Amino acid sequence: MKKYLTLENGDVFVGEACGDLGAEIDGELVFTTSMTGYQETLTDPSYKHQIISFTYPLIGNYGISLGTNQSDTVQAAAVVVKEMTDQVFHYQSVISLDAFLKQSKVPAISGIDTRQLTKIIRRYGTMKASLTNHPIVDQPKADRSASIIKSATLSAGDAKDVEHVVVVDFGVKDNIVKSLQRPGVDVTVVTPESTFEDIANLHPTGILLSNGPGDPTDYSDFVPVIQKLQDNFPLFGICLGHQLLALANGATTYKMTFGHRGINHPVKNLITGDICITSQNHGYAVDVDSVKDTPLEVTALEVNDKTCEGLRYPGRPVFSVQYHPEAAPGPHDATKLFDDFIEMMHVNGGVH
């Protein structure tokens, strides 16, 4: 069965249908250079409403495993691959990738020259696209009807005299929560509809602003809450949370041409001089020059294109990173940041 990928610029790719054969979808077309970790990528809430093209030519060879998802469902709108294999070789696999997509009602297309597709995205930038069962004439329109804010459930522990992290969930990955959970640390997850008073009443010793999809300016209603939170609690922002911390302090963000999506992005710490390899997934970035007129300080840059990868608020226990220290997938170079945040809470926690 044929499937048709029609790009906003008019280019059309024809391939074989896989995943949910009947489903047709509109979305934002992006690519990831990750060679492994497709299950974590597909279930990452940061990819909500996006059509993901994998540049690595063979996807699905180690199947789908239990306990690997980064949320309770596939978040991506659709999947584009060069080849999707049904030959699964891994002792932990319980189902093939194709069957997993069928169960999740997510369409996919194989037999596509994803390297050529990536060149188009790099040239013209991230664009809208449609995945259909028949050729179409009209340009695709992205589906904006669904909310990009994910609801969440409270999950604090019962232990006493512990550090208590409140995670503001803009689309949090499970491995962020798991990276925080350890003896002596409770985690409560709240939605961005929460007020400062709602969060303060939970008596946190620290706040984590999570990753998530979309334009950070779409969350402008929560910016005043962040301004109050950073005045009263240790605060750590990741990816979208990093961008929102910048907006809360007067910096600006911009849409990148094709974003950073992969697990091999080198980042230089401007304070220590160290370079770590990071996992990234974002289409917007903080304008480095705009930070100069704010109380924030740039602490890290992406080595290749010098985009802003880290911020801190000097004199306060407040910092953020653009990359994903929890990985899943990706290298673990930056996992120490969770230890740093917990130590920061231990020293500075509680309402000031």
The three-state DSSP-derived secondary structure of 3-50 is: EEEEECCCCEEEEEEEECCCCCEEEEEEEECCCCCHHHHHCCHHHCCE
For the segment 285-308, the average pLDDT, to the nearest whole number, is: 97
| Residue 239 falls in the annotated catalytic set | yes
Residue 161 confidence (pLDDT): 59
For the segment 175-182, the average pLDDT, to the nearest whole number, is: 91
Q: Which is more confident, 149 or 208? A: 208
CA distance 226 to 339: 22
For the segment 209-216, the average pLDDT, to the nearest whole number, is: 94
CA distance 236 to 337: 9
Q: What is the DSSP letter of 324?
A: B
Asked if the model's pLDDT at residue 22 lies above 60, the reply is: yes
| Residue 18 falls in the annotated catalytic set | no
Q: Which residues are annotated binding-site positions?
A: 46, 212, 214, 240, 243, 281, 283-284
Residue 138 confidence (pLDDT): 57
Asked if the model's pLDDT at residue 352 lies above 80, the reply is: no
Residue 311 confidence (pLDDT): 98
| Token pair listed for 161 | 């005299």
**How remote is the C-alpha of 116 from its chain's centroid?**
25
Q: What is the DSSP string of 179-227?
A: HH-BTTEEEEEE-TT--HHHHHTT--SEEEE---SS-GGGGGGGHHHHH
Q: With contact defined as beta carbons under 8 Å apart, do 168 and 37 qualify?
A: no
Q: With contact defined as beta carbons under 8 Å apart, do 60 and 171 qualify?
A: no
Asked if the model's pLDDT at residue 277 lies above 50, the reply is: yes
| Residue 308 falls in the annotated catalytic set | no
CA distance 29 to 352: 44
Q: With contact defined as beta carbons under 8 Å apart, do 58 and 110 qualify?
A: no
- What pTM, to 2 d.p., does this model score? 0.74
Q: Which of 42, 40, 32 is nearest to 108 (CA)?
A: 42
For the segment 71-81, what is each residue's pLDDT rounded down to a tens digit?
999 999 999 99
Q: Which is more confident, 149 or 315? A: 315
Q: How many CA atoms lie within 13 A of 78 on its CB side?
A: 30
Residue 155 confidence (pLDDT): 40
Question: What is the pLDDT confidence band of residue 348, given thresholds at 50, 70 and 90?
Answer: confident
Name the residue with tokens 């991506």. Answer: 76
Question: What is the pLDDT confidence band of residue 349, given thresholds at 50, 70 and 90?
Answer: low
Report the 10 Å Cβ neighbour count for 305.
11
Sorted by sequence, the CB contacts under 8 Å of residue 267 that are 6+ apart come out as: 275, 276, 277, 278, 300, 301, 302, 303, 309, 310, 323, 334
Asked if the model's pLDDT at residue 145 lies above 50, the reply is: no
Sorted by sequence, the CB contacts under 8 Å of residue 208 that are 6+ apart come out as: 165, 166, 167, 168, 176, 180, 235, 236, 237, 238, 241, 341
| Residue count of the chain | 352
For the segment 199-212, the average pLDDT, to the nearest whole number, is: 95
Q: Which of 289, 299, 293, 345 is nearest to 320 (CA)?
A: 299
For the segment 286-315, the average pLDDT, to the nearest whole number, is: 97
Which of the listed CATH numbers 3.40.710.10, 3.40.50.620, 3.40.50.10800, 3.50.30.20 matches domain 2-132? 3.50.30.20
Residue 346 confidence (pLDDT): 87
Share of the chain above pLDDT 70, in %: 92
Domain with CATH 3.50.30.20 in the chain: 2-132
For the segment 183-199, what is each residue's pLDDT rounded down to a tens digit?
889 999 999 999 999 99
To the nearest whole number, what is the mean pLDDT of the chain? 90
For the segment 237-249, what is each residue's pLDDT rounded down to a tens digit?
999 999 999 999 9
Residue 151 confidence (pLDDT): 32
Residue 146 confidence (pLDDT): 32
Q: Determine whether domain 163-348 maps to CATH 3.40.50.880.
A: yes
Domain with CATH 3.40.50.880 in the chain: 163-348
CA distance 96 to 85: 8
Nearest-Å Rg of the Cα atoms of the chain is 20
Instruction: Pick the catalytic residue from 49, 164, 239, 302.
Output: 239
Q: What is the DSSP string of 56-87?
A: SSEE-TT-EETT--SSSS---SEEE-SEE---
Asked if the model's pLDDT at residue 287 lies above 50, the reply is: yes
